[in-house]
Amino acid sequence: MKRPEPQPPPRNAQAIFRDAVSCHQAGRIHDAISLYERVLLLQPDFADAHNNLGAALAAQGRTGDAIAHFQRAVTLNPDYAAAHNNLGAALASTGRVDEATAHFGRARALSPGHPDANNNLGVALLRQGKIEEAVAHCERVLAVNPSDIEAHNTLGAGLEYQGKFQESEAHYRLAIAVRPDCAKAHYNLSAIKTFRPGDADLAALEALARGNDLPAGEMPLIHFALAKALDDCGDYPRAFAQLSKGNELKRRQIEYDEETGLRYFKRVSAVFDRALLDRFRGAGDPSPTPIFVLGMPRSGSSLIEQILASHPEVHGAGELNDLEMVTNSVLNENPRPAPYPECVPALDADTLRRIGRSYVDRLLAFGNGKVRIVDKCPGNFLLIGLIRLVLPDARIVHTMRDPIDTCLSCYSRLFTRGQHYTYDLAELGRFYRSYRQLMAHWRSVLPPEAMLDVGYEDVLDDLEGQARRLIGYCCLPWDDRCLSFHESARPVRTASAVQVRKPLFRSSLQRWRNYEAGLGPLLRELGDIVTTHSEPRP
Handedness of CA 152, 153, 154, 155 (dihedral sign): positive
What pLDDT, on a 0 to 100 scale, did the predictor assign at position 371?
86
Spatial distance between the Cα atoms of 191 and 496, rounded to a whole number of angstroms: 9
Residue 178 in any domain: the answer is: no
CATH code (residue 516): 3.40.50.300
What pLDDT, on a 0 to 100 scale, did the predictor assign at position 112?
78
Q: Would you place residue 114 in the very low, low, confident or very high pLDDT band (cuts 50, 70, 90)? A: confident
Three-state secondary structure call for residue 532:
helix
What pLDDT, on a 0 to 100 scale, did the predictor assign at position 123?
81
Diameter over CA atoms, the chain: 77
Is pLDDT of 416 > 90?
no
Residue environment code for 287-320, b if the CB has 16+ CB neighbours within 10 A, otherwise e:
bebbbbbbbbbbbbbbbbbbbbbbbeebbbbbbb
Domain extent, residue 324, equals 258-533
What pLDDT, on a 0 to 100 scale, did the predictor assign at position 7?
54
Q: What is the pLDDT of residues 365-396, one digit of tens each?
A: 888 888 899 999 999 999 999 999 999 999 99
Q: Would you place residue 129 in the very low, low, confident or very high pLDDT band (cuts 50, 70, 90)? A: confident
Split into its structural domains, the chain has a count of 1
Tell me what the mean pLDDT of segment 325-350 comes to: 91
Amino acid type, 326: V
Q: Of 344-358, 429-443, 475-489, which range is least confident?
A: 475-489
Residue 40 in any domain: the answer is: no
Residues 6+ apart with CB under 8 A from 226: 190, 202, 205, 206, 208, 209, 239, 242
Is pLDDT of 262 > 90?
yes
Tell me what the mean pLDDT of segment 89-108 comes to: 84
Q: What is the pLDDT of residues 36-85, one digit of tens each?
A: 999 999 999 999 999 999 999 998 878 889 999 999 999 999 999 999 99
What pLDDT, on a 0 to 100 scale, did the predictor assign at position 455?
96
| Cβ–Cβ < 8 Å for 454, 397 | yes
H or E element that contains 301: helix 301-309
Is pLDDT of 9 > 90?
no
How many percent of the chain have pLDDT more than 70? 93
Spatial distance between the Cα atoms of 31 and 53, rounded to a whole number of angstroms: 11
φ, ψ for residue 15 (rounded to 5)?
A: -65, -45
Three-state secondary structure call for residue 261:
helix
What does the DSSP 8-state code read for residue 60?
T
Spatial distance between the Cα atoms of 82 and 430, rounded to a whole number of angstroms: 39
Is pLDDT of 2 > 60?
no
59: number of Cβ within 10 Å: 19
Spatial distance between the Cα atoms of 180 and 174, rounded to a whole number of angstroms: 9
Residue 21 in any domain: the answer is: no
Is pLDDT of 490 > 70?
no
Q: Give 105 or 373, the one with higher predicted confidence.
A: 373
Residue 500 in any domain: the answer is: yes
Mean pLDDT of the chain: 90
| Cβ–Cβ < 8 Å for 152, 185 | yes
Residue 283 in any domain: the answer is: yes
Q: Would you place residue 537 in the very low, low, confident or very high pLDDT band (cuts 50, 70, 90)? A: very low
Q: Of 47-61, 278-292, 486-500, which range is least confident?
A: 486-500
What pLDDT, on a 0 to 100 scale, did the predictor assign at position 433?
97
Residue 464 in any domain: the answer is: yes
What pLDDT, on a 0 to 100 scale, did the predictor assign at position 425?
98
Sequence-distant contacts of 133-139: CB under 8 A, at least 24 apart: 134/158, 135/159, 135/162
| Cβ–Cβ < 8 Å for 55, 86 | yes
Closest CA to 359 of 382, 380, 337, 340: 380
Residue 496 in any domain: the answer is: yes
Amino acid type, 187: Y
Residue 459 in any domain: the answer is: yes
What pLDDT, on a 0 to 100 scale, did the predictor assign at position 403?
96
Q: What is the pLDDT of residues 289-318, one digit of tens each?
A: 999 999 999 999 999 999 999 999 999 988
Is pLDDT of 485 > 80?
no
Q: What is the pLDDT of residues 198-220, one digit of tens each?
A: 999 999 999 999 987 888 889 99
| Cβ–Cβ < 8 Å for 175, 153 | yes
Q: Would you place residue 119 in the very low, low, confident or very high pLDDT band (cuts 50, 70, 90)? A: confident
| Cβ neighbourhood burial of 481 (10 Å; 0-12, 13-18, 19+) | middle
Handedness of CA 532, 534, 535, 538 (dihedral sign): positive
Closest CA to 7 of 39, 46, 51: 46
